[in-house]
Amino acid sequence: MQTFTPSPAQPAPLTSVGPLAWMRHNLFSSWLNTLTTLLIGAILIKIVPSMVDWLFLSANWQGESQAACTDEGACWVFVRAWSQQFFYGSYPDSELWRIDLSLLLLFGTVILAYKVNKGLRERLFIPLFLLLPFLSIAILDGSYLGLEPVSTDYWGGFSLNILLAHLSSNPTKIPKIYREPDMRF
């Protein structure tokens, strides 16, 4: 009587798993997909190198005015000069710490909520997520906390957009955090 001895396990064929299989299945599965892939690839090969050159390699990074910019590349001089305006809007310079504190509270809460267990998340971070927009508004406004009031006319910039996005997305993200105890950041 013979005994069965299984042959050693072998890896799956490269044609059924891995990047080549993914490309065959998603990019080259039909003649139309193949044509589209080749057309987009040709366009990217033609455009991307000149875009990278114009945007970064030949770009102007130093200077104070438009005179520092040449016609060869992008003019990043204004982005650098106006970066504070882009990020903070016209919020008073002496009170910018309030925006920084609000953003630190937001990002700190989000990061910590992903790192703790479900029980602590339910008791601490879900209420904190719900209170954070109101706390941020109180910090930014200032009058509720005894700070110098800053009118909402001065609020703006990228940081305000982040806080508004948080406020508007709260109802949708709280249930997801509650349901998925092992969410990864």
Domain membership of residue 7 (yes or no) is no
Identify the domain containing residue 171 by its residue range.
84-179
The answer on 94 and 167 residing in a single domain is yes
- Rounded distance between C-alpha atoms, residue 14 and residue 32, angstroms: 24
What pLDDT does 35 receive? 97
The answer on 109 and 92 residing in a single domain is yes
Domain membership of residue 162 (yes or no) is yes
Count the domains in the chain: 2
What pLDDT does 40 receive? 97
- Rounded distance between C-alpha atoms, residue 49 and residue 45, angstroms: 7
**pLDDT under 70 in the chain at which residues?**
167, 169-185
The answer on 168 and 105 residing in a single domain is yes
Structure tokens at 79: 């982005």
pTM greater than 0.75 (yes/no): no
The answer on 91 and 167 residing in a single domain is yes
Domain membership of residue 116 (yes or no) is yes
Domain membership of residue 6 (yes or no) is no
The answer on 96 and 25 residing in a single domain is no
